């Protein structure tokens, strides 16, 4: 079979699909991969036998539609491959899968049941049609490798167990890495590769820079491990800040950063030459794991635990907050799931890795404190109230904008109709004048040759005038062009009059017709002046109307509606989780109340026991202080009651 796989994601997602690619190729099938430019070099190393189709844009931008012309070359290349099977690899399918599904109607189309991706900043009112003929249903929280396993099993129609991703680099890349390391004073296998920087869009997913500096300083000071700070060019500023903090403590980290899109293969070569990886959850982490390097990563809860490393040894540390996973649409004042991971917990795992105590892929989920849980609940409640108010305001704004737009549209329709009627009337008058002018030209053709030439020029000017009037789109343009053409006509008539005066004995009849033409032109001038006055009145009447602004407001309203719909969905999920936690707390409180009531009952039986009272009077059983106080209280009540009776 010929199998086409769409991979619109970044490096980590595609690296985790390497076992699926290998299983399809080993089964004897031809493979084509659609990948982004940043992923293309790694894809060629992972599957050198596969055909690579480059995806030139980010389809996770909600402003991109399935009919975007930039997807034309992708669709053409996919159709030219003539696949028998099309696999949409992401859990949530995008406009890329929607476009390829429509372009490959005869292929067997497989995808997952995650629905269409919705950009929270550029939402859509209506989702596209399902692009797959077969849907593989898996849990969203399942690890990405297991999702790929389910896709491979459905494609091949047999039981499949995928191993962990593996990546083997060409020998020339080892030489490139050795040259780079020699230039910055590091040795192969001796240093740690630390990816701890971020840019403005990924800062929410990264641990605090000061905490990274503390952990790296512990590693360098206690175990004498050199550190190479790595990452893309847009992460360099944050990573260098970590380096400055290390240098302030007398340590000397090294630096290497790729270009704006990253130098993926050289980065992979440096990771292959390292002792291990330490840093955030990102593409280089998955490359290091696929190269068999030990990994220590601090995770957040955005997509936990779908992308945790599987290599041995490895440690994935995160804070087990109740709002995870959120797909990094965080409603908290800060992303506590990653920002609040304690330094001591990470340093403890550093020591365990260095001592060889970590065996396998370890997951360390730290339980948040009660105060942190209270803060999370408080932030969630504030966000819910804020979204509720914003939703109400948006609804009122949309309703008001819709009414204003409809009213303005009605007014514009009325005004445009009146203008069009007037322009049609003016065009008919001009057409009649043009016909009269052509008749005058025909009669004047009997005069001298010079007069004939002038008359022909005049006729051509009139024809251009009629065409210009028909092409005009607004009253202003029609008036300006009409005035210009009339001035040209006057010039032509002046020249014709001079010629006619020189040959007056031969053009008596033409002079009469010329007078008639002058009268007709005067009527045209009067009509033009009237049209100009009417156009000025229309401009004054509708000076305040700004159609462009109305369209912009409508676009902004639609954009805001998409955002609100995405946020409403997230808020619904969070509310369901909070209700589940509330029911669990209420159940626990009921259980504790029953236990207290049971203890109170047993305590009453103990106090009322005659054998215990007799033993206490005989001084065989001990009388506890609280028992003596309780008995005195009871005797006091009994004595008062007897006294009242007597």
How do residues 473-486 score in pLDDT, each as one tens digit?
A: 455 555 566 666 66
Phi, psi of 324 (to 5 degrees): -95, 145
Q: Kindly write down the DSSP assignment for every residue of 1-48, as one continuous string.
A: -EEEEEE-S-HHHHHHTHHHHHHHHHTT-EEEEEE-TTTHHHHHHH-T
Is the separation of the CB atoms in 8 and 94 below 8 Å?
Answer: yes
HSE, CB side, 13 Å, CA atoms: give it for residue 426: 28
Say if residue 168 is exposed, middle or buried (CB neighbours under 10 Å; 0-12, 13-18, 19+): exposed
Alpha-carbon distance 522 to 618, whole Å? Answer: 139
Alpha-carbon distance 539 to 535, whole Å? Answer: 6
- Whether the pLDDT of residue 506 is over 70: the answer is no
Q: What was the pLDDT predicted at 444? A: 46
Q: How confident is the model at residue 352 (pLDDT cuts 50, 70, 90)?
A: very high
- Whether the pLDDT of residue 566 is over 70: the answer is yes
Q: How many CB atoms within 10 Å of residue 227?
A: 25
Q: Which two tokens stand for residue 442?
A: 């025909």
Closest to 29 measured CA to CA, from 94, 103, 83, 78:
83
Helices 370-444, 449-471: crossing angle, 10 deg rounding: 160
Alpha-carbon distance 275 to 346, whole Å? Answer: 18
Sheet holding 51-54, edge to edge: 51-54, 30-35, 2-7, 85-88, 108-112, 134-136
Closest to 297 measured CA to CA, from 234, 405, 207:
207
Which residues on adjacent β-strands are paired with residue 106? none
Q: What was the pLDDT predicted at 61? A: 85
Q: What was the pLDDT predicted at 393? A: 64
Which residues on adjacent β-strands are paired with residue 192? 227, 276
Alpha-carbon distance 561 to 398, whole Å? Answer: 9
Structure-model confidence comparison of residues 567 and 273, the more confident one: 273
Work out the average pLDDT over 393-417.
60
Alpha-carbon distance 425 to 442, whole Å? Answer: 26
Q: How confident is the model at residue 547 (pLDDT cuts 50, 70, 90)?
A: low
Mean pLDDT of the chain: 80
Work out the average pLDDT over 243-256.
94
CA distances from 600 to 180, 364, 453, 473, 623 (A): 75, 41, 123, 92, 18
Q: How confident is the model at residue 472 (pLDDT cuts 50, 70, 90)?
A: very low
Q: How confident is the model at residue 212 (pLDDT cuts 50, 70, 90)?
A: very high
Query: What is the DSSP-derived secondary structure letter of residue 130?
Result: P
CA distances from 71 to 55, 68, 99, 351, 535 (A): 8, 6, 8, 50, 46
Segment 135-167, tens digit of pLDDT: 999 888 899 999 999 999 999 999 999 999 999
Q: How confident is the model at residue 646 (pLDDT cuts 50, 70, 90)?
A: very low
Work out the average pLDDT over 407-434.
56
Q: How far is CA 548 from the centre of its chain?
A: 27
Structure-model confidence comparison of residues 321 and 214, the more confident one: 214
Alpha-carbon distance 456 to 345, whole Å? Answer: 96
Q: What was the pLDDT predicted at 15? A: 96
Q: What was the pLDDT predicted at 69? A: 92
Q: What's the chain's length in residues?
A: 646
Q: What was the pLDDT predicted at 416? A: 53
Q: Which element (helix H / strand E) includes 134?
A: strand 134-136
- Whether the pLDDT of residue 604 is over 80: the answer is no
- Whether the pLDDT of residue 42 is over 60: the answer is yes
Q: Which element (helix H / strand E) includes 254?
A: strand 254-257
Specify the range with the lowest mean pLDDT, choosing from 188-202, 280-294, 580-594: 580-594
User: Which residues contact residue 581 at a Cβ distance below 8 angstroms, ignoring those fewer than 6 apart?
Assistant: 322
- Whether the pLDDT of residue 385 is over 80: the answer is no
Q: Which two tokens stand for residue 524?
A: 């045209």
**What angle (nearest 5°) sits at the alpha carbon of residue 256, between those of residues 255 and 257?**
125
First to last CA, the chain: 106
Q: Which two tokens stand for residue 175?
A: 């030489």
Among all chains, which residue has been given the structure tokens 């006091």?
Answer: 636
Q: How far is CA 180 from the centre of its chain?
A: 36
Closest to 342 measured CA to CA, from 452, 214, 532:
214
Q: Write the secondary structure of 345-358 as one string of H (helix), E (strand) and C (coil).
A: HHHHHHHHHHHCCC
Is the separation of the CB atoms in 26 and 152 below 8 Å?
Answer: no
HSE, CB side, 13 Å, CA atoms: give it for residue 504: 4
Alpha-carbon distance 629 to 301, whole Å? Answer: 55
Is the separation of the CB atoms in 257 and 231 below 8 Å?
Answer: yes
Using the Cα atoms of residue 61, residue 64, residue 65 and residue 70 in order, give the sign of their dihedral: negative
In 445-507, alpha helices (H) = 449-471, 475-502
Helices 508-541, 370-444: crossing angle, 10 deg rounding: 170
Structure-model confidence comparison of residues 467 and 347, the more confident one: 347
Work out the average pLDDT over 577-587.
85
Say if residue 481 is exposed, middle or buried (CB neighbours under 10 Å; 0-12, 13-18, 19+): middle
Specify the range with the lowest mean pLDDT, choosing from 174-188, 306-320, 371-385: 371-385
Using the Cα atoms of residue 318, residue 323, residue 327 and residue 331 in order, give the sign of their dihedral: negative
- Whether the pLDDT of residue 434 is over 70: the answer is no
Q: Write the secondary structure of 45-91 as one string of H (helix), E (strand) and C (coil).
A: HHCCCCEEEECCCCCCCCCCCCCCHHHHHHHHHHHHHCCCEEEECCC
Alpha-carbon distance 153 to 162, whole Å? Answer: 10
Is the separation of the CB atoms in 164 and 310 below 8 Å?
Answer: yes
User: Which residues contact residue 71 at a Cβ distance below 8 angstroms, ignoring those fewer than 6 apart?
Assistant: 57, 59, 95, 96, 99
Among all chains, which residue has been given the structure tokens 């539609």?
Answer: 65
Closest to 241 measured CA to CA, from 225, 233, 229:
229
Alpha-carbon distance 311 to 538, whole Å? Answer: 74
Q: What was the pLDDT predicted at 35? A: 96
Specify the range with the lowest mean pLDDT, choosing from 365-379, 406-420, 555-569: 406-420
Query: What is the DSSP-derived secondary structure letter of residue 619?
Result: T
Q: How confident is the model at residue 411 (pLDDT cuts 50, 70, 90)?
A: low
Among residues of the chain, what percentage have pLDDT more than 90?
Answer: 42
Q: How confident is the model at residue 99 (pLDDT cuts 50, 70, 90)?
A: very high
| Beta strand ranges found along 147-249 (DSSP E) | 192-195, 227-231
């Amino acid at each position: 079979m010929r199998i086409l796989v769409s991979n619109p994601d970044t490096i980590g997602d595609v690296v985790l699909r390497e076992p699926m690619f290998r299983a399809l190729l080993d089964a004897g099938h031809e493979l084509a991969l659609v990948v982004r430019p940043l992923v293309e070099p790694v894809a060629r190393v992972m599957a050198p036998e596969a055909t690579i189709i480059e995806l030139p844009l980010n389809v996770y931008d909600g402003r991109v539609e399935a009919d975007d012309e930039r997807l034309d070359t992708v669709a053409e290349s996919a159709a030219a491959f003539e696949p028998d099977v099309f696999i949409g690899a992401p859990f949530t399918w995008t406009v890329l899968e929607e476009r390829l599904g429509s372009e490959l109607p005869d292929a067997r189309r497989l995808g997952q049941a995650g629905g269409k991706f919705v950009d929270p900043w550029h939402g859509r009112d209506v989702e596209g049609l399902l692009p797959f003929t077969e849907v593989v249903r898996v849990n969203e929280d399942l690890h990405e490798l297991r999702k790929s396993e389910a896709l491979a099993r459905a494609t091949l129609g047999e039981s499949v167990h995928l191993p962990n991703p593996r990546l083997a680099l060409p020998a020339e890349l080892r030489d490139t890495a050795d040259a780079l390391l020699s230039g910055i004073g590091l040795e192969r296998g001796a240093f740690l590769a630390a990816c701890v920087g971020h840019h403005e869009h990924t800062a929410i997913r990264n641990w605090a820079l000061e905490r990274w500096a503390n952990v790296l300083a512990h590693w360098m000071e206690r175990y004498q491990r050199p550190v190479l700070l790595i990452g893309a060019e847009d992460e360099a500023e944050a990573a260098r800040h970590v380096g400055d903090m290390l240098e302030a403590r007398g340590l000397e980290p090294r630096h290497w950063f790729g270009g704006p899109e990253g130098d993926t293969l050289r980065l992979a070569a440096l990771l292959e030459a390292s002792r291990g990886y330490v840093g955030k959850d990102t593409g280089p982490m998955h490359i290091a794991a696929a190269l068999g390097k030990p990994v220590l990563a601090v995770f957040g809860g955005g997509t936990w635990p779908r992308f945790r490393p599987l290599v041995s040894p490895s440690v994935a540390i995160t804070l087990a907050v109740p709002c995870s996973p959120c797909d990094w649409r965080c409603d908290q004042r800060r992303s506590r799931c990653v920002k609040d991971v304690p330094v001591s917990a990470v340093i403890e795992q550093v020591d365990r890795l260095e001592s060889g105590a970590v065996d396998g892929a370890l997951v360390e989920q730290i339980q948040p404190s009660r105060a942190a849980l209270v803060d999370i609940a408080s932030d969630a409640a504030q966000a819910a109230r804020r979204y509720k108010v914003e939703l109400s305001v948006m609804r009122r704004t949309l309703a008001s904008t819709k009414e204003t737009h409809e009213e303005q549209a009605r007014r514009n329709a009325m005004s445009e109709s009146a203008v069009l009627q007037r322009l049609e009337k003016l065009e008919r008058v001009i057409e009649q004048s043009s016909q009269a002018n052509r008749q005058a030209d025909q009669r004047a053709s009997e005069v001298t040759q010079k007069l004939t030439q002038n008359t022909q020029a005049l006729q051509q000017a009139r024809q251009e005038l009629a065409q210009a009037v028909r092409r005009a789109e607004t009253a202003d343009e029609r008036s300006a062009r009409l005035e210009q053409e009339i001035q040209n006509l006057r010039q032509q008539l002046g020249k014709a009059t001079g010629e006619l005066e020189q040959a007056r004995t031969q053009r008596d009849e033409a002079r009469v017709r010329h007078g008639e033409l002058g009268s007709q032109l005067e009527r045209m001038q009067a009509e033009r002046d009237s049209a100009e006055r009417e156009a000025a009145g229309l401009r004054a009447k509708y000076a305040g109307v700004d159609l462009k602004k109305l369209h912009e407001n409508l676009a902004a309203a639609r954009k805001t509606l998409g955002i609100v719909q995405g946020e409403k969905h997230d808020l619904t999920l969070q509310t369901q989780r909070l209700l589940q936690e509330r029911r669990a707390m209420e159940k626990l409180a009921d259980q504790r109340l029953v236990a207290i009531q049971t203890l109170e009952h047993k305590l009453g039986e103990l106090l009322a026991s005659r054998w215990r009272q007799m033993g206490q009077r005989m001084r065989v059983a001990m009388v506890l202080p609280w028992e003596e106080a309780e008995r005195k209280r009871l005797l006091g009540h009994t004595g008062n009651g007897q006294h009242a009776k007597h």
